[in-house]
Amino acid sequence: MIKIAKLISGSKISAQIKDEVKAQIEQMKKENDTVPGLAVILVGENPASRVYVANKEKGCAQVGINSETVRMEDTVSTDDILAEIDKLNNRDDIHGILVQLPLPQQVDTGRVLMAISPDKDVDGFHPVNMGKLVAQQDCLVPATPSGIIEMLKRENINLKGANATMVGHSEIVGKPCTLLLLNEWATVTVCHIETKDLKMHTKDADIIIVATGVPYLIKEDMVKEGAVIIDVGINRITKDKASPDLLEWRKEDFEKKGATLIGDVDFQRVEPKASHISPVPGGVGPMTIAMLLKNTLKAAKMAVEKK
């Protein structure tokens, strides 16, 4: 009999979180006469960035957050963006600010992210928030890793004492996710491009979280029976990159649209071995937006408490 893993549906869990955020915003409106506000700075015409920002605007509308997008030409200077951030930092109706990345080459991304007030840093990328995360202090945590932990908790996956392997060590996913797992008392191994023998670190793990951007990096022989797998990767497969093994699980979608999204895990083959697995799409992606909305609500609550 073929075993089938339980799918961890980010779409379902994120819908629950959005309902909770919406209810709390309604309460905040009544009790504090405050509506959370999110400002997104979008520079240039990058098609992927435009889609991400449109999804964030849609998410805000669904839960009752006021959102506005500041659109800037891709010839902007660092100082132009800093001037916009300064205005937004000083507005009482804006509780969350995020700058859609990547920024054009001439812009100093580090300076831009540093300029956002840590209290309005809903992406959680400011070193003050990163530092607080290390120190286990209350703070705004990056949305994708907090979404991953939320998924695991809502699926009742035991984290305490679990052996977790984090594949990928970026500032936006791998490193903060590692800290969150440690804060939940998991034993964490972190792997990256220079890791000598990736399989050695994944094959005995109770939980594997993969965020590399390498299609199907994780194969069935790298995973133990009953492992929990969270696939963060988003890889857009177009005609030039298509191959039968990459497309097996998303063939129908590819044929319909001429392109499709796949993750960093060889889903078809890994799924029968796993106890739980998150799909791509419909896994971590929708959680990221939901947690961003939750962070905006949190920033608004912090502003109300400060008054």
Which residues form the catalytic set? 56, 100, 123
Backbone angles phi, psi at 288, to 5 degrees: -60, -45
Verify binding: residue 219, ligand NAD, rule CB under 6 A. no
Angle separating helix axes 284-306 and 10-32, nearest 10 degrees: 20
Does 17 engage in binding with ligand NAD (CB under 6 A)?
no
Using a 10 angstrom Cβ sphere, with 0-12 exposed, 13-18 middle and 19 or more buried, the burial of residue 147 is: buried
Choice between 52 and 242, CB closer to ligand NAD? 52
Q: Running DSSP on this structure, what letter comes out for residue 248? A: G
Nearer to ligand NAD, 269 or 301 (CB): 269
Residues 189-208 that bind ligand NAD (CB under 6 A): 191-193, 195, 198
Total residue length of the chain:
307
Residue 182 is which amino acid? L
Kindly state whether residue 165 participates in binding ligand NAD, applying the rule CB under 6 A.
no
Distance of CA 119 to the CA centre of its chain: 19
Binding positions for ligand NAD, 143-162, rule CB under 6 A: 144
Nearest residue to 265 (alpha-carbon basis) of 248, 290, 240, 242:
248
Q: Does 9 bind ligand NAD (CB under 6 A)?
A: no
CA dist list (Å): 153 to 18, 50, 89, 147: 17, 31, 34, 10
- 101 is a contact residue toward ligand NAD (CB under 6 A): no
262-291 binders of ligand NAD (CB under 6 A) = 284-285, 288
What's the rounded Cα separation, in Å, for the pair 277 and 254? 22
| 3-state secondary structure (DSSP) of residue 165 | strand
How near is the Cβ of 68 to ligand NAD at its closest, in Å?
22
261 binds ligand NAD (CB under 6 A): no
Provide the mask over 224-243, with x wherever binding to ligand NAD is found by CB under 6 A and - wherever it is not: --------xxxx--------
Residues binding ligand NAD (CB under 6 A): 144, 167-170, 172-174, 191-193, 195, 198, 211-214, 217, 232-235, 284-285, 288
